[in-house]
Amino acid sequence: MATLTTMTVATSQADLAPLYLFADSQLLFWKRNGKLLLESVRESLAGDAPPAAYIGASNGDRPEFYEIFTAAMNAAGFPEHRMIGSAFTAEDREFLDRAQLILLAGGDVRLGWTTFEKTGMKEQILARYASGAVLVEASASPAESEPVHAASAAQTQTRTASASHGRERRTGRRPAGRAKNT
């Protein structure tokens, strides 16, 4: 807990809003002394109902993960919240420009980063952070990320098997440790 306090003090001294990195979306509901951490974040922001934006580009804008965000925002007192879609429409841009809390959902980092760069979302996120918006990154929990890891592992196995099979055809030799299929 001292690390979180130290990080908050350091970012405050640098005139930047805090940056929260959660290893799991369950931490959106974490309480300290009976109060949600995100309630304290909301109380530090201007206005009674600061807007909160959810960016799910890294998980393909999956609605079930946005539902987790919605529940957390409602519990913490953020009544105005919206999913910023990967298409990044004019309405999304307008909302993101007002958002005081921006949550970047976990998932496929390459997919998210490519989307941020192609749409101009990256620049707007950075501009909002420089203007005082709080950034929250919530990685997928092990159960949420399992399909991503499984798909990645399957791709790696397919590439490895294809490369090994190609080597075998070209040289007539099997790679070391690979038994002949019977």
Kindly state the percentage of the chain with pLDDT values over 70: 69
Looking at per-residue confidence, does 76 or 14 come out higher? 76
Looking at per-residue confidence, does 2 or 88 come out higher? 88
Topology at the third CATH level for domain 15-28+40-132: Rossmann fold (3.40.50)
Domain definitions of the chain by residue range: 15-28+40-132
Tokens, residue 37: 């951490």
Confidence of residue 173 (pLDDT cuts 50, 70, 90): low
What is the bridge-based pairing of β-strands 35-36 and 31-32? antiparallel
What pLDDT, on a 0 to 100 scale, did the predictor assign at position 21?
A: 92
Tokens, residue 38: 């995100």
Dist. CA 3–CA 53, nearest whole Å = 26
What pLDDT, on a 0 to 100 scale, did the predictor assign at position 121?
A: 97
Burial of 50 (0-12, 13-18, 19+ CB in 10 A): buried
The phi, psi pair for 3, rounded to 5°, reads: -65, -45
Confidence of residue 15 (pLDDT cuts 50, 70, 90): confident
The reported pTM is 0.70
pLDDT digits (tens, 9 = 90+) for 96-149: 999 999 999 999 999 999 999 999 999 999 999 999 999 999 986 444 444 334
Count Cβ atoms below 10 Å from residue 105 Cβ, excluding itself. Answer: 26
172 pLDDT more than 60: no
Dist. CA 3–CA 171, nearest whole Å = 56
pLDDT digits (tens, 9 = 90+) for 34-93: 999 999 999 999 888 999 999 999 999 999 999 999 999 999 999 999 999 999 999 999
What pLDDT, on a 0 to 100 scale, did the predictor assign at position 140?
A: 63
